[in-house]
Structure 1
Amino acid sequence: MSDSGLSRFLGGSPAQVILRLVFLSFVVGIILSALNLDPLDLVNMAVNFVERLWDMGFNAIGRLGNYLVVGAIVVVPIWLITRILSMGRTR
């Protein structure tokens, strides 16, 4: 990869990007320390959040399935009756 390609990929010269990343890492480290947060705690919080969303999603799918079955108990017989009655009219 050429220097211009690398610079384009990184968003600036490699030295500038490294300095920017070091500075931002330092600032974020200070903020996290002030908030008494550990990076592993953040990872665990993110994993727990995704797991809760995942579980809620499957619970929602289960509820949708229940709604589908309850609705089908009413809709399918009505549809079947209307189809049977319309067959008698067409002949």
Structure 2
Amino acid sequence: MQNDVRDLPGGNADSLNRFLGGSPLSVAFRLILLSILVGVVLAAVGFDPWNILHSIRVLFQRIWDFGFDAINWAWRYFLLGAVIVIPVWFLSRLFGAPRGR
């Protein structure tokens, strides 16, 4: 029994590393880089760090407006295509274009 290996509780450094997911310096560096990346994405969306609630409201307003603009855009293209497609379809049926039998 002298050669048995026993797991002893780790010291403060081991428990801190396990809690953070790595050494404190590397975790801080990763968090700084991730914060910069997320900040760039949020700035591209239009968020302002000094007035975050107003920025969120403006974002939802833009998404709402864009949603109805997308429906309007699709409707206009549908009508534009239908001006050509429907008469061609009707004329092909009227004049007896060959049918796949």
TM-score, normalised to structure 2, is: 0.46
Q: 1 or 2 for the larger relative contact order (CA 8 Å, sep ≥6)?
A: 2
User: Which has more helix, going by share of residues?
Assistant: 1
